[in-house]
Amino acid sequence: MLAGTKVPVRVWTDPYGIEPQAAQQLRNISQLPWVEGVAVMPDVHYGKGATVGSVIAMRQAVSPAAVGVDIGCGMSAVRTSLTAADLPDDLGPLRSAIEAAIPVGFAQRDTAINPRRVRGLDQRGWDAFWAGFTGLDDRVSRLEHRAHHQMGTLGGGNHFIEVCVEQGGPDDGQVWLMLHSGSRNIGKELAERHMAVARGLPHNDGLPDRDLAVFLAGTPQMDAYRHDLWWAQEYARRNRAVMMAVLCDVVRQHLPQATYGEPISCHHNYVAEETYGGVDVLVTRKGAIRAGAGDLGIIPGSMGTGSYIVRGRGNPDAYCSASHGAGRRMSRAQAKRTFTTDDLVAQTAGVECRKDVGVVDEIPGAYKDIGEVMDQQQDLVEVVARLKQVVCVKG
């Protein structure tokens, strides 16, 4: 438990190891009159408004900052029929082919994706989904062209596409494909507009942090936010589905024998309606995945350390959640001051990836130890597979 809080704030890490700014954020969150409780994941770190790695249960209210600006950001992974022995010695051409097929960073597609032309993509619901754009906040109407052209694109920051090899266990050497992305610019624009509206509502006067402003159930502002939120979460899910289908096709072009299992997909910046102890709550997971009993999830480390496929244990004390990754231990600016490209080369040895100054802020040393993070949440998830990347594409 974290000391100095108004409601239970349960912590799955050393509470004294939480950076002071993040600890104060958690105390601020606990002061909100609508909060039922908070669960703090082992990858916790400071964020805008609400802490990254926090799970917040609220009664009849939701804080947009507790979701974050990349609404619906999350992970997808699929197990292939390939083994490490099937992969070529030189993985450079495969990485180049992935980068050619899936725009990264600020790039978008020259021509909007046609779902019917994407091999292996679920064709259901696309027309209805895009029709929903007209019901979004009027202030984002100018972004429809961009939203279409960013569908099936990666973005930058900590977003990535990887080819991974399973390590240990009966399936040692099995190849997986994995990616991390969200709702691109449209989700960010929607989030920022609603956060600005929330800050101006009179019931949020006197909050310990104005960025924690909430919408209340039964109000038009809450209805508008939840409408746009659900759409953005679906945009993020479909964005990852498009990229995964394209990625599978790229790998199949290089290795025609490849076949694929059922994809695993999970949000880690989102809202869900759930019930705990007979109380209906709106749960915001900002940097956390749902880990209900039997739920499959994905917990990545960094671009040189590997990732985990997990199965949830359904721990209600954590609101059936687990960490969304290793979590940063230093800011991007600090990482750039601390590390060099030589450090990046050393820490990503054996991984086919960018090793230039543009991704130094994503160096493994800027992140917490994923092994320690996993050890701290053994009562939240069980490990299904440990993966180590051999190709990593960054924006």
Looking at residue 324, the DSSP 8-state letter turns out to be S
Query: How many whole angstroms separate alpha carbon 152 and alpha carbon 172?
Result: 31
How far, CA to CA in Å, does 171 sit from each of 113, 166, 178, 179? 35, 7, 17, 21
State how far the alpha carbon of 176 is from the alpha carbons of 220, 346, 365, 385, 395, in Å. Answer: 44, 24, 24, 10, 20
Check whether 152 is labelled as a binding-site residue.
no
Q: Give the length of the chain.
A: 395
Contact (CB, 8 A) for 366 and 329:
yes
Count of C-beta atoms within a 10 Å radius of residue 361 = 21
70 is in an annotated binding site: yes
Annotated ligand binding at 301? The verdict is yes
Rounded distance between C-alpha atoms, residue 47 and residue 45, angstroms: 7
Tell whether residue 375 is among the known ligand binding residues.
no
User: Packing angle between helix 184-199 and helix 220-254, nearest 10 degrees?
Assistant: 160
* Residue 324 designated active-site: yes
Q: Is 149 annotated as a binding residue?
A: no
Q: Is 162 annotated as a binding residue?
A: yes
287 labelled ligand-binding: no
141 has binding-site annotation = no
> Among residues 65, 45, 61, 96, which one has the least CA distance to residue 269?
65
Check the annotation: does 188 bind a ligand. no
Beta strands 52-58 and 279-286, pairing class: antiparallel
Cβ atoms of 242 and 113 within 8 Å: the answer is yes
41 is in an annotated binding site: no
Q: 163-197: string of b/e by CB count within 10 Å (b at 16+)?
A: bbbbeeeeeeebbbbbbbbbbbbbbbbbbebbbeb
185 assigned to a ligand binding site: no
Backbone angles phi, psi at 239, to 5 degrees: -60, -45
Is residue 234 marked as binding? no
Catalytic: which of 45, 194, 267, 324?
A: 324
Q: 227 labelled as ligand-binding?
A: no
**Residue 15 annotated as binding site:** no
Pair of tokens at residue 286: 């900002």
300 annotated to bind ligand: yes
The verdict on whether residue 302 carries a ligand-binding annotation is yes
Q: Is 63 assigned a ligand-binding role in the annotation? A: no
Say if residues 286 and 51 touch (Cβ distance below 8 Å): yes
Which residues participate in catalysis according to the annotation? 324
Binding site per annotation, positions for Mn(2+): 70, 159, 180, 268
List the binding residues for GMP.
Answer: 158-162, 268-269, 300-303, 307, 324-327, 394
Annotated binding site: 70, 158-162, 180, 268-269, 300-303, 307, 324-327, 394
